[in-house]
Amino acid sequence: MEMESQPETTSNSGFRSLQSSITAAFLLLVCFVLLFSTVLETYSSIQTQRQLIDKQHGLIAQEAAGKVSAFFDRIALRMKMLVRLHDPIAVDPAELHLDLEKLLGSESAIRHLLVLRADGTKLDEISRLSSLSAGALDAHIDSYHFGRVLGGETAFTPVYIDEVTSEPLIIVGVPAKNALGDTNAAMFAELNLKFIWTLVAELRIGDEGLAYLVDETGRLIAADDVNRVLSGERLTHLTEVQRFLGALGPPHEDFTDFWQRGFTGDYVVARHASLENQPWALVVETPVREAFSATIHKAWYSLLILALSLTLAVIAARYLATRVTKPIVSLRDATHRIAQGERSVRLDLRLKNEIGDLAHSFDHMVSVLDRTTVSRDSLAAEVSERRRAEEAAAEAKKQAEDASVAKSRFLANMSHELRTPLNAIIGFTTLLEDSKLDGVQRDYVSTVRGSGNVLLSLINDILDISKVEEGRLELERIPFEIEHVVETVLQIVRPRVSGSPIELIHDISDIPPWFLGDPTRVQQILLNLLSNAIKFTPRGRIAVDVRIDESDRKGAGHPGLRRTLRISVRDSGIGIPRDKLATIFEVFVQADTSTTRRFGGSGLGLAITKAFVERMGGRIWVESEPEQGSEFIFTLELEQCASPEQGAPDDRGSLSGRGVGIVTSNGDIAGSLRETCRREGLVVRFVSATGAEARKALQGLSSEEPSIDALLVDLDLPDQTGTELAEAIHGQDRWRNVRVIALTHDLLTEVAERDPFQGYVTRPVLRSELRSALAQALGGRESTAEADRDGTPSAKARRGGDDTLSGLRILVAEDNTVNLRLVRQLLERMGAREIEEASNGREALDAARRERFDLILMDVQMPEMNGLEATQAIREQVDAEVPIIALTAGALQEDRRHALDAGMTDFLTKPVDRTELRRVLVLHTSPSGKRLER
């Protein structure tokens, strides 16, 4: 239970609650202000009071001093009046004595009176005391004072103490003048200073203040306390007395010496005033306590207020601090609770100030936090959900990919397994077709062979589409001749239209002959389109058109340039419904299921075609009109290249300049043929539609030199047969040597092979066939093999076997005995007589060790040692040169690559096509390797 985690701050030792801080600060401030003001006020009050007291004391002292002076003045005046009234020398001594007695009687302060002549002799004397002690008085009047009095001054002696009574006494002397104004006597009076005591004692100075009189030596003369006066005490230790005696300066302005020890020893405020007729001073003092009682009262009062204010301040501070800190504390607690995961925390402080604002903002923040936390939670949930989905998807993808790999493996294996028996079926039916059969048998056999071919193309299609879908379609990049590709396809499909009312024509306009690319795939595209066209065209015309696309304006171009080829296949067939146009390029889509049932097909062809075209950087589209026909157009991006057959004899050379005439009513054929001739270097002298026209044209030709070498005659002319026309021409001496070549459909070759024709070409006329037919007819050469290569094998076969391979020793390695037999048959038909057999790679290697072969045909998949291993062994141990041709049911590009990597010379796919077999064998056994290639 670690829930009780306090916020950082409280555990911090330096932590001071905000509340106490605020309170302390507030108190300090108030304290400071109050104290400051109190001190200031007290100070100024003391100052004022001091000045006041000072002034008061001054006045009192002055007044008292005046009174004391007046006492002496009065006595001196009465004495002067007495001696002025009666000259003491001249007057009657009794009268003088009476005067003296009167004076003594009226002035109780006078104790003794003495009148002396100027020479010092006594004139009269009177005393209040019982026994006269004049001597005592005389003793205190010294010559100095006597002299001063005789000089006309009123003089006082210093104070002295009577030994008996201990009273302070003083003697005052006044001069006595005669009528002439001369001083002839002096009058002295001894004064008891006790009489000024009362005067001084009666002075009222406040409640406790007092006054005292000191003489010029600092001795106390008069004070309330008689004993101290009588003891003759000197007060020179008191500040105010010292000041009077001149030992100190005037009082300091800053009143540092304002407080002083007073008469009774207390702290007092004092002031003195000097007497006018005596060198004495009257000192007035008031105890500080009394002098500043008002101020002290005030100070106490201030202190009281201070304390009260402080109490109030404490209360106010606490209240304020609580008001400020309480919301902050609840804010802190709230954040603490939020941190612990509580979400429903709300402050709800309805304060109309900044703190209220803060609380409001906090509540808002918490609600936003709440929302975002909720959305974050759901987001997190969503994310993990999505991640799960992604993982599932990835897993599914992986499974799908695995499945796809497995599928393609399976397909490759299946196709391999299917090809092997198909190889036997097609191969043997082909051989069977060549043997002696009656009509029904031949029909059955050709049906078997056709079905085998359909099956084969289906296998091929499925293999192709699986490769396309896996994205594993690999394209070759080799030089090829576009015209050769087109003619090969035409050659393949031509049998399918022979005998049907379909005219197959082609037009290859000015295009560069050689390109870099994959001829097999181009051929496949064209074959698919042409097969479809033938399938869906009951009658009419199918035209193949090859040209450089209009967008490509590079002229003749040069090797290395990328060109855009545009190839179209147009038919006049059933067309495609408008709504199907968009989808027919998709896998397994067929425009019309009813037509499909009628025509067969898998719906894969166009999908494969499209994939191939697009891989070659082109595009394919269709334009079609139901019942009018369709046109499939595709473009290809190919790199133009130079002819790889550098230095080969120019085909044109042999026939160029020879004159020919064309006789056919079919304009398409005429046009196409004319173009083919032109490209072959022949000079077309005329084109006629009928036999009559042709004869007329011949007549019109110049007779000097036979400017015509051959006639190409359609077997089927509107006015007569081709045979008739040929015979008619040969009947005339002039044209006897003109060679007549029949233009025929495949099926009619029987007619064309006979006289009066010197050769035949099948429609559509392929350039290669035209060339060989003309060469043969004009040169008279026997060139069966050549003709054979060019695609009329059945005709040649029917003439009997050939000797293409005669004299060659051939080794065939094949584990399947049926296929072995088939290959053997095929080879024997090509004239091979020495054929060695091996049923696996090891046997083949042993045979190769034993004897020398001119050629080895090697199956790839064999028990014990497969074809690739056997080939490698032969290459390394026996013969690096002998041509080894792979013979395999594996139709994939990589199968081919593996074969070539293992050292094989070439590659043949099962089922073995007889023509292809012948081509490859001839290619690799002829001394030049090009004997028949030209």
Interaction site with ligand ADP (CB under 6 A) = 528, 532-533, 536, 571, 573-576, 584, 590-592, 595-596, 601-607, 630
DSSP of 397-410: HHHHHHHHHHHHHH
User: Which letter does DSSP use for residue 874 in this model?
Assistant: I
Q: Which of 536, 735 has the CB closer to ligand ADP? A: 536
Q: Which helix (H) or strand (E) holds 541?
A: strand 540-548
Closest by CA position to 543, among listed 501, 506, 488, 491: 506
User: How remote is the C-alpha of 791 from its chain's centroid?
Assistant: 68
- Quickly list H helices, 435-518: 439-470, 482-497
Give me the least distance between CB of 452 and ligand ADP, in Å please: 17
Measured distance CA(597)–CA(725) in Å, rounded: 45
Give me the least distance between CB of 633 and ligand ADP, in Å please: 12
Q: Which of 26, 599 has the CB closer to ligand ADP? A: 599
- Quickly list H helices, 851-892: 867-873
Q: What are phi and psi of 881, to 5 degrees?
A: -105, -35
Give me the least distance between CB of 620 and ligand ADP, in Å please: 11
Give me the least distance between CB of 561 and ligand ADP, in Å please: 32
Q: Which of 607, 795 has the CB closer to ligand ADP? A: 607
The answer to whether residues 717 and 726 touch, using CB atoms and an 8 Å cutoff, is: no
Measured distance CA(662)–CA(685) in Å, rounded: 8
Q: Which of 583, 699 has the CB closer to ligand ADP? A: 583
Burial label for 439, CB within 10 Å (0-12, 13-18, 19+), is exposed
Tokens representing 339 are 């941190």
Give me the least distance between CB of 536 and ligand ADP, in Å please: 3
Q: Which of 620, 774 has the CB closer to ligand ADP? A: 620
Give me the least distance between CB of 461 and ligand ADP, in Å please: 8
Q: Which of 413, 451 has the CB closer to ligand ADP? A: 451
Q: Which of 550, 627 has the CB closer to ligand ADP? A: 627
* Bridge partners for 605 per DSSP: none
Give me the least distance between CB of 583 and ligand ADP, in Å please: 9
**C-alpha distance from residue 336 to each of 331, 347, 358, 605 (Å):** 8, 13, 17, 74
Kind of pairing, strands 514-517 and 502-508?
A: unpaired
Tokens representing 84 are 């002025």
Q: Which of 191, 459 has the CB closer to ligand ADP? A: 459
Q: Which of 596, 690 has the CB closer to ligand ADP? A: 596
Tokens representing 366 are 């918490």
Measured distance CA(770)–CA(779) in Å, rounded: 13
Give me the least distance between CB of 775 and ligand ADP, in Å please: 36
- Quickly list H helices, 151-276: 194-201, 226-230, 239-245
**C-alpha distance from residue 368 to each of 150, 329, 344, 361, 486 (Å):** 120, 22, 12, 10, 75
User: How remote is the C-alpha of 847 from its chain's centroid?
Assistant: 71
Tokens representing 482 are 């576009």
* Bridge partners for 688 per DSSP: 663
Measured distance CA(63)–CA(200) in Å, rounded: 11
The answer to whether residues 783 and 802 touch, using CB atoms and an 8 Å cutoff, is: no
Give me the least distance between CB of 463 and ligand ADP, in Å please: 15
**C-alpha distance from residue 345 to each of 9, 360, 363 (Å):** 21, 12, 8
First to last CA, the chain: 98
Give me the least distance between CB of 457 and ligand ADP, in Å please: 9
Measured distance CA(382)–CA(389) in Å, rounded: 10
Residue 296, CA atoms < 13 Å, CB-side half-sphere: 7
Give me the least distance between CB of 535 and ligand ADP, in Å please: 6
Q: Which of 606, 752 has the CB closer to ligand ADP? A: 606
Q: Which of 458, 818 has the CB closer to ligand ADP? A: 458
Give me the least distance between CB of 456 and ligand ADP, in Å please: 14
Q: Is the CA virtual torsion 36, 37, 39, 44 positive or negative?
A: positive
Q: Which of 590, 816 has the CB closer to ligand ADP? A: 590
Closest by CA position to 501, among listed 284, 142, 747: 747
Q: Which of 607, 761 has the CB closer to ligand ADP? A: 607
User: Which letter does DSSP use for residue 206 in this model?
Assistant: T
Give me the least distance between CB of 593 and ligand ADP, in Å please: 8
* 186 three-state secondary structure: strand
Give me the least distance between CB of 372 and ligand ADP, in Å please: 57
- Quickly list H helices, 766-815: 767-779, 784-789, 793-798
166: left (phi over 0), alpha (psi -120 to 50) or beta: left
Give me the least distance between CB of 687 and ligand ADP, in Å please: 30
Give me the least distance between CB of 627 and ligand ADP, in Å please: 11
Q: Which of 465, 774 has the CB closer to ligand ADP? A: 465
Q: Which of 149, 604 has the CB closer to ligand ADP? A: 604
Measured distance CA(923)–CA(477) in Å, rounded: 21
Q: Which of 524, 676 has the CB closer to ligand ADP? A: 524
Q: Which of 372, 628 has the CB closer to ligand ADP? A: 628
Q: Which of 335, 602 has the CB closer to ligand ADP? A: 602
Q: Which helix (H) or strand (E) holds 433?
A: helix 354-434
Give me the least distance between CB of 628 and ligand ADP, in Å please: 10
124's CB contacts (< 8 A; 6+ apart) are 88, 93, 96, 97, 100, 113, 114, 115
Between 914-925 and 817-829, two packed helices, what is the crossing angle to 10 degrees? 70
DSSP of 788-827: HHTT-HHHHHHT----TTTT-EEEEE-S-HHHHHHHHHHH
Give me the least distance between CB of 592 and ligand ADP, in Å please: 5
The answer to whether residues 76 and 155 touch, using CB atoms and an 8 Å cutoff, is: no
Tokens representing 227 are 């004993």
